Amino acid sequence: MKKDVVELYLEHGDFERAIKESGLSAISAHIKLINSGVITLKDKVRYSSRNGKLGAEAELLFQKIVPKAVNYNTVVKKNNPVFDFKYGDLTIDVKYSSVHKRGNHSFWNVRPSNADMLVVFLEEKIGSGLKNSEILVIPQAFIGTTKNLHITRNKELYAYCLVKQEELEEILAEYNGAK
């Protein structure tokens, strides 16, 4: 039995893969995605990239680490441009960033959002993906820009926001109670 195209598109973030696995034509799939509220008529459909795929995997990993968080991309059935998850009253945008190198200098770039918190999975070594990724919990109050955050290990933002995977849910619970 073929899976629903909406479910596939939300799961993989890849229009081509969703139409192939659903068995629908591109036009039928597009109409179904619009009618489900996942996209609008003017939205560009997403085609998977390595970072897009890893971003979706980061959301799955986050859900595994914080099972009480409500995934708005699947439960509400729409791509919420501001946040991916709610944990109590706290809005959370989950991000993934590949590591970049310039000489001996390693860095990550992350696009900020208006969510209460960013939870960012940072690739440890080039090509390692989420394996051994580091996690940052960045409160909105720490974000001083609307442009990409440039993160390095020697910046305060990294030092202030680095958390262990086993601490993540407890930290979010403490922030939720502070709202």
Alpha carbon separation from 9 to 81, 83, 117 (Å, rounded): 16, 17, 25
Same-domain status, 85 and 111: yes
pLDDT in tens, the chain (179 residues): 778 888 888 777 778 888 888 999 888 888 988 888 777 776 666 655 677 777 878 888 999 999 999 988 766 645 556 788 999 999 999 999 999 998 888 999 998 888 999 999 999 988 888 899 999 999 999 987 778 899 999 999 999 999 999 999 999 999 987 75
Task: List the CATH number of the domain containing 72.
Answer: 3.40.1350.10
**Degrees to nearest 5, angle at CA 140 with 137 and 145:** 110
Same-domain status, 56 and 38: no
In the three-class reduction of DSSP (H, G, I as helix; E, B as strand; rest coil), residue 146 is classed as: coil
* Residue where the block lists tokens 């073929």: 2
Kindly report whether the global pTM for this prediction surpasses the value 0.85.
Answer: no
Same-domain status, 132 and 154: yes
pLDDT at 42: 67
Same-domain status, 100 and 172: yes
Contact 133, 122 (CB under 8 A): yes
Same-domain status, 61 and 135: yes
Same-domain status, 84 and 13: no
Range(s) of the domain holding residue 22: 1-48
Same-domain status, 100 and 163: yes
Alpha carbon separation from 177 to 42, 170, 173 (Å, rounded): 39, 11, 6
DSSP secondary structure code for residue 117 in this structure: E
Provide the domain count of the chain: 2
The residues that bridge with 86 in the sheet, in sequence order, are 70, 91
Same-domain status, 87 and 39: no
69: CB partners within 8 A, 6+ apart = 62, 63, 85, 86, 87, 92, 172
Same-domain status, 36 and 95: no
Same-domain status, 30 and 63: no
Nearest to 119 by CA among 66, 53, 77: 66
Same-domain status, 34 and 58: no
Largest CA distance in the chain: 51
